[in-house]
Amino acid sequence: MKIQTELPENYLDLKKAANYTSSWRERLAAVQTLSSYKHEKVIDLLHNRVKADTVFAVQQAAYEALTNFGEDVPQPVRRKFELIKGAEKVFVRVKKSLPADHSFSDFADKLKRTRLDVYDAYEGDQGENFLPWLEAKWQTI
C-alpha cells in the first residue's frame, strides 16, 4: 500500500463515515481507506477512532494505520464491560416494551429498529457470536 501525504478528494465523506455511530462497518471501511493518507487531519481522526470507537476492530485498524505512519500511539484494549454507557438499561427497556410472550427475534428486531447504535456496537464487538450473545443477554433480563 502506497502512503500518500495529501488528503483524499473525498475526505469529508470519509470523515463522516469514520464517525458514523450506527455502522461500525462504515467506520472500519473509512479507517481502512484513510490509512493510505498520512496527513495531519487523517492522523487526528485516526487518533480519535483509537480512543473513542466502541468497536475494537475499528480501534485496531486505526491503531495499525497510525503505527504504519510512525505515530506513537498506545495499543487499544478490548473493553470488558459495557461498550455504550447505559446499554444494559436499553436492553431491559426494549424487553419490557414487548408483550410478555415475545420471541428473541422480536427483541432483536426492536433493538435494531430503536437503538441501532447499541445493536451495531455489540454486533461489531461480538462478531459471529453476536446473536448467541444477544440471545443469552435477552434470556437473563
What does each of the 141 residues of the chain score in pLDDT, given as a tens digit?
Answer: 678 888 999 999 999 999 988 899 999 999 999 999 999 999 999 999 999 998 999 999 999 999 999 999 999 988 777 888 899 999 999 999 999 999 999 999 999 999 999 999 999 989 899 999 999 999 999
Total-model pTM: 0.77
What span, in angstroms and rounded, lies between the C-alpha atoms of 12 and 31?
A: 13
Which distant-in-sequence residues (6+ apart) come within 8 Å of 62 by Cβ? 31, 35, 46, 47, 49, 50, 53, 76
